[in-house]
Amino acid sequence: MSASALAAGPGLVRLEGDLNFAGAVPLRLELERALATAGSQVTLDFGGVLRSNSVGLSLILLAARQLEERGGSLRVSRIPSGLKSIASVCELDEWLASITVEAPTEA
């Protein structure tokens, strides 16, 4: 299954599918487009992610950097446990925990 990044309303971007190296480049471009329309305070929701490797962490870092450059901020929700483990190995677990919020409510 491929992956996608969808702007799901003001301040919300949903990631779906398998986040892996094969689809990393097109997914990054989709995420950049979704972030451009989502506003400055964005929650990146991983609820639709089936599997993720370090690509998921790289997308979080990309989103955080882009939003920070615009004076905004990032929150993440429903992070897969495997992605939390990768963040721990990279010593980013405390930072990731600091930006993690409860799952967004449906509009």
Residue 54, in any domain of the structure = yes
Residue 107, in any domain of the structure = no
Query: Structure pTM?
Result: 0.91
Residue 49, in any domain of the structure = yes
pLDDT at position 2 is 87
Residue 39, in any domain of the structure = yes
**pLDDT for 58-81, tens place per residue?**
999 999 999 999 999 999 999 999
Residue 106, in any domain of the structure = no
Residue 48, in any domain of the structure = yes
pLDDT surpassing 60 at residue 23: yes
pLDDT at position 59 is 96
Distance CA(104)–CA(52), nearest Å, equals: 20
Residue 105, in any domain of the structure = no
Residue 89, in any domain of the structure = yes
For residue 38, the enclosing domain spans 4-98
pLDDT band at 13 (very low <50, low <70, confident <90, very high): very high
**Domains in the chain: how many in total?**
1
Residues 6+ apart with CB under 8 A from 15: 3, 4, 5, 31, 44, 45, 46, 48, 49, 56, 59
pLDDT at position 1 is 63
Domain at 40, CATH number: 3.30.750.24
pLDDT band at 5 (very low <50, low <70, confident <90, very high): very high
pLDDT band at 105 (very low <50, low <70, confident <90, very high): low
